[in-house]
Structure 1
Amino acid sequence: MHDNDEIQAIRQQLARPATQFTAGGFRPTQAGDESWLGRVFLFRADEGIPCNAAGDAMLPLAQFHLPSLPVNHPLLAEVRVLTLFISADFGEPLEPMGAHWLIREYGHHEVLERKELAAPASFIKPFPLKAERLDEDYPLWDGGGVPADLEDRILELERQGTIDSYYDIVSHCYAHKIGGYPSFCQSGIDPGDGFEFVFQISSDAKINLNVVDSGSLMFWKHRSSGEWALYYDFY
């Protein structure tokens, strides 16, 4: 196989599509099919803003209307709306959902109510999200999801002088996104068998979110159980 063909084969094997988000920059419609950061306004009739383990209201961090997005994750195919709440204290990476963070998923036919609720101590600035299709997102090199056999092929291309670096042939999206690959700051981790990376919310000065030190909140979902896992790291 010629070097260019080899590179294209590697890219094709690694590429994943994603929806990448940009906060603000346009006038919101206030419609129910709009996605937001820093705001949640769709709830079941018996729901409000959840509390963390200390009894304090969690911060409404995200509301995604999934059918409106150019790319959705297969594990969210039966979900119409996903909302996310998080404590100002994120808790420990990979701790179970409930004490410091909570995801709610709503099916396509669930009846939801619009409630304008706010957490008194929330420092997250609400902005609607502009969603754009990203055809190709690639994993980070250090533990980001490159299979061992491809690592060997890429290292051989470097030894041959065909490429200077893995990042000569791929790019990675560090933005808020659904799909694609997680944006680890340190060496990547694997939350366990059956878990697939689904979405992330990254540090963003516009919404006043700094994940410790320019990190990202990264979320996986288990293919069978539906369990969620949250991991975060930082520089």
Structure 2
Amino acid sequence: KTSIINGSEVSRLSVAIQGQPMFPLLQIRVDELPVVPEQLKDVALLVLYHNLESHPFDKPHGEGWLIREYATLEGLELLPATDTPYRAFPVRWVSVNDDAPGWEDAWDIIDLADVNDDEEASNRFFDDFNRYRGTKVGGYPTEIQHGAGIQDFVFQVGSEEKVNWMWSDNGIGYFHKSPEGIWTFSCQFY
């Protein structure tokens, strides 16, 4: 199952990491999710911060992007407002039951050799299954150029017109969390 939205919430919080101005690209109140990934079971609020200057492609957690997890909402306070070109948009999560992996990621689940050898089956794989490009929690990452990796996948942030957010050329940012608690970020775009 997957939780998807029609936009990303961007609240009036700010933070600086290593001297770089950051803003909250996405906040997830886990109690609002219809589907909660295992990696978020002990989290009440997750905030994804992003560098205001540029996309931190190929950077580790804490360098141009940062995820903060809070076990409780008690005691949390809004930080001062930061002027950004992005528009706040409230999250409205929707549960879906038909999210499917892309071609390359599906190979991690099942051998698709027979599908690959059958044109009709191959066409059905691409035409008959839903893949959600927007911001979502859980399910499968929506690949653009190649497999995004289903292992440890937690959420993706799509390019969202309503908030004026875009990963390069209509891309998607993918966020994974290892069993050891290490967050990783990757991005694909056209």
Does TM-score exceed 0.5, indicating one fold? yes
| In the alignment, structure 1 residue 151 sits paired with structure 2 residue 123 | no
Shift in Å, 1:114: 2.8
Paired residue total: 189
- Runs of at least 4 residues off by over 6 Å: none
- Structure 2 counterpart of 1:87, one-letter code: N
3-state SS in 2 of match to 1:167: helix
Structure 2 distance, partners of 1:136, 1:220, is: 21
Identity of aligned residues (%): 26
What whole-Å deviation, never above 9, does each CA across 1:3-44 have from its counterpart, x for those lacking one?
A: xxxxxxxxxxxxxx1000113xxxxxxxxxxxx622155xxx
Shift in Å, 1:71: 0.7
In structure 2, do the counterparts of structure 1 residues 212 and 163 end up closer, same or farther at CA, with 3 Å as the change threshold? closer
Cα contact 1:215–1:232 (8 A) shared by 2: yes
Structure 2 distance, partners of 1:138, 1:80, is: 27
Which one of the candidate residues 167, 188, 200 is aligned to 2:126?
A: 167
What whole-Å deviation, never above 9, does each CA across 1:185-219 have from its counterpart, x for those lacking one?
A: 2112449xxx5110011101110001000001110
Following superposition of structure 1 onto structure 2, how do residues 1-235 of structure 1 map, counting pairs within 5 Å?
17-23=1-7, 37-39=9-11, 49-53=14-18, 55-88=19-52, 89-93=54-58, 95-108=59-72, 111-120=74-83, 122-141=84-103, 143-147=104-108, 149-156=110-117, 158-159=118-119, 161=120, 164-190=123-149, 195-223=151-179, 225-235=180-190
Structure 2 distance, partners of 1:189, 1:134, is: 20
3-state SS in 2 of match to 1:51: strand
Give the root-mean-square deviation of aligned CA atoms.
2.2
In structure 2, do the counterparts of structure 1 residues 18 and 40 end up closer, same or farther at CA, with 3 Å as the change threshold? farther
Cα contact 1:40–1:62 (8 A) shared by 2: no
Relative to the length of structure 1, the TM-score reads 0.73
Relative to the length of structure 2, the TM-score reads 0.89
- Structure 1 counterpart of 2:177, one-letter code: K
Cα contact 1:40–1:63 (8 A) shared by 2: no
Q: Structure 1: where are the runs of 5+ without partners?
A: 1-16, 24-35, 42-48
Q: Higher Cα Rg: structure 1 or 2?
A: 1
3-state SS in 1 of match to 2:137: strand
- 1:3 matched residue in structure 2: none
3-state SS in 1 of match to 2:112: helix
